[in-house]
């Protein structure tokens, strides 16, 4: 490349090409919310600042061949970092973290899911890398390298650092206390870029690893005080002891969201059986129940349910802190004579279940090896839900009672594959194959749950049990908002709408109860542990948890998400915007006001609560407590 008779140094060419590519990915591939001109400006300049800082390091190599080698591999490695994040983002609308990179035992099970996220046009992401390698191979190496004197190298370094400081200053102006309030990775990527986010993530990981070593349990008193004042209720639940001595059957319904309940596609009910349960007199249905998972997805859902602690903001607690001591629900139930088991036709090592289930005091895990799996009875991630429940019944009927059992379904898992012969309804017709195929797999799972109920009713187990059905997390990410807006018949999916889409169904079915109803109060997965224990008549006064019993009114009043957003009875806080919950009216944009509002007051409680939960997990603080002697 020539400019007025002079060759442009390769590090400048690489900086410009890499900067343009990175900006295109940020702006058009990642679904990043931009609320004002300053955010647009930061997103525009950050890719170029980052690439200039990194590629200008080449001037410190005196050996010209080393300069070329550095530029080649910096472009290749940087591209791979962007691309791996992009593929991950297409599925989870999130960015990779260091803990996830070490979840290697999950890799073998991700096959079809990952392949479905790779696009043919992805080869274009490597066009600039190919260009740089071509230039460095075909042209005279000395025409594209530089040999600056020490003073000029220092000048280039100063300019790079000045640009970086300017970027960080703008980021701090846009998002004050960005690094101390960094629950949301999108804010970090939007304001400082993907590469500095990964450097920050590495620093956080180092800090997290040191917390257990430095922890001594002294902070537990402060945490207990917060729980006593803000969470624990002095009143008794109206259903305290309603299921005392009964078995607990918990169905974790993979990726089922509440928008499918009492809804239809192509003129057909999506969930006819679950729709019946909504109006069943033995069933309580929570229509404003939210999942609170983060990167751990199903494992986060399990962690929330068993512990009433929040999952990690980075990676999955099942992996990062699987060796911790917990005071989980199965342990508390075991003290009352309950036997516990999990049924899930997947590998025992997936999500590190083979280790953490022992620490949660789960007695038995019926994994992949416990089932007869053939090509005909499996699809996507493994055993179909109908044969899964059928084969599980033999184990369930032989189990000593009372028991606490959890069934984790698989069929309604991304990428939502299902054979035509198993479809009861046809796919939706939109620009998103993911959303299109979602509805037939949801319907299949609905039918499988109905079949399970039928089998239970043919045994004595049914009348002596309480049955929970819960969607474990969302199945349709923000990458499919355009198709989702069409299905919901709205103009667009706003941050408010997206939070509302995080609602998942929760059914509590008590055979013979005859007092069920639809409950509209907000609730979340954090609430299940105290709710289940209270319904079984088990005392939780010595326990430490961040949820509330769903059947009493003296509650903290908000549901926190791992990124710092929240839902309360009055407000929804999402992407820095405070909405009126029932109408969706915008009340305040965080970046435009420093006023102390009710929304901001709740947000401070949310951040406090998340931080306390992290202290317990990262410091492994329960090892300092003997819950039996409290």
Which residues does the annotation mark as catalytic? 298
For helices 194-214 and 185-192, the axis angle rounded to 10 degrees is 130
Contacts of 605 (CB under 8 A, 6+ apart): 230, 556, 558
C-alpha to C-alpha distance for 17 and 13, rounded to whole angstroms: 6
- Other beta carbons less than 10 A from residue 288's beta carbon: 18
C-alpha to C-alpha distance for 331 and 327, rounded to whole angstroms: 6
| DSSP-derived secondary structure for 109-173 | G-HHHHHHH--GGGGGGGHHHHHHHHHHHHS-GGGS-----HHHHHHHHHHHHHHHHHHHHHHHH
- Other beta carbons less than 10 A from residue 499's beta carbon: 21
For helices 37-55 and 185-192, the axis angle rounded to 10 degrees is 70
C-alpha to C-alpha distance for 474 and 33, rounded to whole angstroms: 20
What is the reported pLDDT for 5?
Answer: 46
- The superfamily (CATH) of domain 248-284+299-502+511-516+526-539 is Alkaline Phosphatase, subunit A (3.40.720.10)
CB 139 within 8 A of CB 9: no
Maximum CA pair distance of the chain?
A: 90
DSSP 9: P
C-alpha to C-alpha distance for 617 and 630, rounded to whole angstroms: 20
| DSSP-derived secondary structure for 523-577 | EEGGGHHHHHHHHTT---TT---S---TT-S----EEE-TTS-EEESSEEEETTE
HEC-encoded secondary structure of 252-319: EECCCCHHHCCCEECCEECCHHHHHHHCCCCEEEECCEECCCCCCCHHHHHHHHHHCCCCCCCCCHHH
Domain boundaries, the chain: 2-211, 215-230+556-630, 248-284+299-502+511-516+526-539
Q: What is the CATH number assigned to the segment(s) 215-230+556-630?
A: 3.30.1120.170
Give percent above pLDDT 90 in the chain.
Answer: 59
pTM over 0.85: no
C-alpha to C-alpha distance for 233 and 225, rounded to whole angstroms: 13
The yes-or-no verdict on residue 241 having pLDDT over 90 is yes
CB 152 within 8 A of CB 15: no
Residue 1 has, within 13 A of its CA and on its CB side, a CA count of: 16
Mean pLDDT of 462-491: 95
Torsions phi, psi for 289 (to 5 deg): -105, 130
What is the reported pLDDT for 3?
Answer: 47
In tens, the pLDDT along 152-169 reads: 777 777 887 888 888 878
The yes-or-no verdict on residue 143 having pLDDT over 70 is no
What is the reported pLDDT for 262?
Answer: 97
Check if 215-230+556-630 and 248-284+299-502+511-516+526-539 are the same fold. no
In tens, the pLDDT along 197-229 reads: 888 878 877 777 777 778 888 889 999 999 999
Query: Is omega for the bond preceding 415 within 30 degrees of 0, making it cis?
Result: yes
- Cα dihedral 32, 577, 612, 85, rounded to 10, equals 0
CB 392 within 8 A of CB 343: yes
What is the reported pLDDT for 173?
Answer: 73
Helix (H, G, I), strand (E, B) or coil at 177: coil
In tens, the pLDDT along 518-535 reads: 999 999 999 999 999 999
Q: Is 537 left (phi over 0), alpha (psi -120 to 50) or beta?
A: left
C-alpha to C-alpha distance for 79 and 365, rounded to whole angstroms: 41
CA neighbor of 317 nearest in space, from 100, 145, 143, 629? 100
Mean pLDDT of 297-310: 96
Average pLDDT, the chain: 88
For helices 37-55 and 10-24, the axis angle rounded to 10 degrees is 150
What is the reported pLDDT for 621?
Answer: 95
For helices 64-92 and 127-138, the axis angle rounded to 10 degrees is 170
Residue with the larger pLDDT of the pair 296 and 92: 296
What is the reported pLDDT for 559?
Answer: 97
In tens, the pLDDT along 614-630 reads: 999 999 999 999 887 76
CB 340 within 8 A of CB 405: yes
């Amino acid at each position: 490349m020539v400019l007025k008779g002079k060759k442009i140094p390769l590090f400048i060419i690489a900086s410009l090409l890499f900067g343009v590519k990175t900006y295109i990915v940020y702006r058009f591939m990642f679904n990043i919310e931009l609320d004002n001109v300053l955010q647009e400006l930061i997103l525009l300049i950050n890719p170029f600042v980052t690439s200039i800082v990194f590629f200008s390091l080449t001037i410190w190599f005196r050996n010209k061949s080393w300069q070329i080698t550095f530029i080649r591999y910096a472009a290749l490695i940087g591209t791979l970092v962007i691309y791996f994040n992009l593929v991950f983002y297409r599925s989870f609308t999130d960015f990779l973290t260091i803990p996830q990179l070490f979840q290697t035992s999950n890799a073998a099970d991700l096959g079809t899911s990952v392949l479905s996220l790779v696009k043919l046009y992805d080869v274009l992401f490597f066009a600039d890398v190919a260009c740089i390698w071509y230039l460095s191979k075909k042209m005279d190496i000395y025409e594209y390298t530089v040999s600056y004197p020490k003073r000029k190298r220092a000048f280039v370094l100063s300019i790079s650092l000045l640009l970086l400081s300017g970027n960080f200053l703008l980021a701090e102006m846009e998002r004050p206390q960005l690094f101390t309030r960094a629950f949301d990775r999108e804010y970090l990527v939007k304001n400082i870029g993907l590469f500095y986010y990964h450097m920050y993530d590495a620093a956080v990981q180092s800090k997290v690893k040191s917390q257990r070593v430095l922890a001594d349990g002294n902070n537990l008193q402060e945490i207990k005080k917060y729980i006593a004042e803000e969470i624990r209720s002095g009143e008794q639940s109206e259903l305290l002891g309603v299921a005392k001595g009964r078995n607990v059957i918990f169905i974790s319904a993979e990726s089922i969201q509440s928008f499918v309940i009492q809804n239809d596609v192509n003129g057909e009910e999506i969930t006819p059986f679950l729709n019946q349960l909504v109006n069943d007199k033995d069933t309580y249905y929570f229509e404003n129940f939210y999942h609170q998972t983060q990167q751990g997805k199903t494992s986060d859902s399990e962690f929330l349910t068993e512990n009433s602690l929040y999952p990690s903001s980075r990676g999955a607690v099942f992996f990062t802190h699987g060796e911790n001591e917990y005071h989980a629900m199965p342990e508390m139930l075991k003290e009352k004579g309950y036997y516990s088991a999990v049924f899930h036709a997947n590998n025992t090592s997936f999500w590190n279940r083979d280790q953490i289930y022992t620490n949660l005091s789960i007695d038995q895990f019926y994994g992949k090896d416990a089932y007869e799996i053939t090509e005909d009875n499996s699809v996507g991630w493994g055993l179909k839900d109908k044969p899964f429940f059928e084969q599980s019944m033999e184990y369930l009927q032989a189990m000593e009672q009372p028991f606490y059992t959890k069934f984790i379904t698989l069929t309604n898992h991304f990428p939502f594959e299902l054979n035509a012969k198993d479809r009861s309804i046809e796919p939706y017709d939109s620009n998103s194959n993911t959303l299109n195929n979602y509805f037939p797999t949801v319907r299949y799972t609905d039918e499988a749950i109905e079949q399970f109920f039928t089998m239970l009713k043919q045994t004595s187990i049914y009348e002596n049990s309480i049955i929970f059905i819960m969607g474990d997390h969302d199945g349709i990410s923000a990458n499919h908002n355009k198709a989702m807006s069409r299905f919901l018949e709205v103009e667009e999916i706003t941050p408010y709408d997206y939070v509302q889409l995080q609602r998942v169904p929760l059914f509590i079915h008590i055979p013979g109860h005859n007092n069920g109803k639809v409950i509209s109060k907000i609730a979340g997965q954090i609430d299940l542990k105290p709710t289940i224990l209270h319904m079984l008549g088990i005392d939780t006064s010595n326990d430490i948890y961040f949820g509330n019993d769903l059947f009493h009114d003296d509650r903290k009043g908000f549901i926190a998400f791992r990124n710092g957003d929240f839902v309360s009875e009055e407000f929804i806080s999402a992407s820095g915007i405070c909405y009126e919950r029932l109408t969706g009216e915008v009340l305040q944009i965080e970046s435009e006001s420093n006023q102390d509002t009710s929304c901001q007051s709740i947000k401070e409680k949310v951040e406090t609560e998340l931080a306390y939960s992290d202290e317990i997990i990262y410091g492994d603080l329960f090892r300092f407590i003997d819950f039996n002697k409290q």
